[in-house]
Structures are given as structure tokens and as C-alpha cells.
């Protein structure tokens, strides 16, 4: 039996499948539906697995760095499989692939890093030689500048996965984006989530571009 026209999507949003990516995609879905007077179900969210999602056994800097969370989504956009994509701007390359444009930006969230640990209230309070888990070169460099004695260990995965790894003792502490914790409703429950993290935020973090649809020009 053919689907009714009421259930047929008229717009397809491409997104990664992580909980945070889907929160951001659903916000775009809801805003577009409200602006156009549509039921949200008429705007489909298509989950696309990216290289960054697949490669979990080594730092992203070892396999190409930027673009690893966007390449497959942008390919789907260019081929017409989806109509727009939602990305965190920190994951994007400086230059977009030919044929794509930035079309909208959401309101900026809190740009700071949160210090997460069961063992200390701040980075300075960690014991000598403690292990800071992070896959971010920026966070590692700034933390080492303040605490040269710290050991840096790769800590990959989505926000919930990294929180579980800290709970399991894989590292003594980590740094996570306050914006992501807030969007997932995890800031209050994160262990000792101090918003006064020691690092300078990425310029792209939580800005109006931190979640962005990209569309093919008509």
C-alpha cells in the first residue's frame, strides 16, 4: 500500500547518529517545521555514519583531522540523498566542498569547557602525574601548559561514552564542552562539572554556527 502524502517527507536532514548530533538536528527540524507550518514528521532526519564515528582506536589527528565527521554527510548532500545537513561547526573544514553553502546558524550556547573528575575540583587540584583523558590537541596543549606533569591519554567517544570512561577510571579527569552537556541535559549530573575549565574555547565552539544546515544552492 502506498504511503499517504501526509507521511511523505518533503525535506531530508542529514546528521550523525550520536545523541548530541540528533539533539541538534531535531532542533533544526522543529524550527523549520514551525517556520513552514508543517508537522515535524514531514521533515525526515537521516542518520549517516562518518569516518570519525567508525575510527575509534586512534586519535583523529592520526587519520586526517578535520572533516572526518562531515565528509560522508557532505557527499550525501551533493548526491541529493539529503537536502540539508546539520553539523557542529568545530567539526567542519575551513573551506566547504564546491557546491555547498552555509545557510543558517543557531544561537550560541555557553562556549566554555567543563572540567570533569571524581578526584579533583579543578585541573590545578589533580595529583602529580594524574591522567587527563582527551583527544583534543587544543585541550591537551593548554592543560600541559598549566600542568606540565600531567599525562595525556586519548579519550574518544560521544559525550556519554567519555563520562562512562571517567566513571570507570580510564582517566582521572577530562574536559568536555559545556554546550554539549547542557544540550544533553547532563551538566548537573556530570561529576564535579566545573564550568571554569582551564582552556580557551575553540572559536567555532557553541557559536551561532555550532549547529548549521548546509544546503545545495538551487
First to last CA, the chain: 33
Q: Residue 14 forms beta bridges with which residues?
A: 46, 85
Q: 21: closest CA among 55, 47, 56, 60? A: 47
SS3 label, residue 76 = helix
Backbone angles phi, psi at 196, to 5 degrees: -95, 55
Is 91 an active-site residue? yes
- Total count of residues recorded for the chain: 218
Grid cell in block for residue 130: 594524574
Position of cell 557559536? 207
CB distance 128 to 149 below 8 Å: yes
CB distance 73 to 112 below 8 Å: no
User: Distance between CA atoms of 146 and 174, rounded to whole angstroms?
Assistant: 14
Q: Of 57, 83, 91, 110, which one is the catalytic site residue?
A: 91
Positive or negative torsion for Cα 207, 213, 216, 218? negative
User: Distance between CA atoms of 60 and 90, rounded to whole angstroms?
Assistant: 13
Catalytic residues: 91
Amino acid at each position: 500500500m502506498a504511503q499517504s502524502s501526509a507521511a511523505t517527507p518533503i525535506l531530508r536532514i542529514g546528521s550523525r547518529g550520536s545523541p548530541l548530533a540528533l539533539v541538534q538536528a531535531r532542533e533544526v527540524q522543529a524550527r523549520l517545521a514551525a517556520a513552514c507550518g508543517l508537522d515535524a514528521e514531514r521533515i525526515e532526519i537521516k542518520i549517516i555514519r562518518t569516518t570519525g564515528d567508525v575510527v575509534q582506536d586512534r586519535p583523529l589527528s592520526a587519520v586526517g583531522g578535520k572533516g572526518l565527521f562531515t565528509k560522508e554527510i557532505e557527499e550525501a548532500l551533493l548526491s541529493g540523498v539529503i537536502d540539508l545537513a546539520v553539523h557542529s561547526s568545530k567539526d567542519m573544514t575551513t573551506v566547504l566542498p564546491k557546491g555547498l553553502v552555509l545557510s543558517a546558524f543557531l544561537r550560541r550556547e555557553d562556549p566554555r569547557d567543563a572540567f570533569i573528575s571524581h578526584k579533583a575540583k579543578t585541573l590545578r587540584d589533580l595529583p602529580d602525574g594524574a591522567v587527563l583523558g582527551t583527544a583534543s590537541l587544543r585541550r591537551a596543549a593548554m592543560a600541559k601548559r598549566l600542568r606540565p606533569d600531567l599525562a595525556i591519554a586519548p579519550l574518544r567517544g560521544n559525550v556519554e561514552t567519555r563520562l562512562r570512561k571517567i566513571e570507570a577510571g580510564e582517566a582521572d579527569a577530562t574536559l568536555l564542552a559545556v554546550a554539549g552537556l547542557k544540550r544533553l541535559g547532563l551538566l548537573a549530573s556530570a561529576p564535579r562539572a566545573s564550568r571554569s575549565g582551564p582552556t580557551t574555547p575553540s572559536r567555532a565552539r557553541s557559536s551561532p554556527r555550532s549547529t548549521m544546515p548546509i544546503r545545495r544552492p538551487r
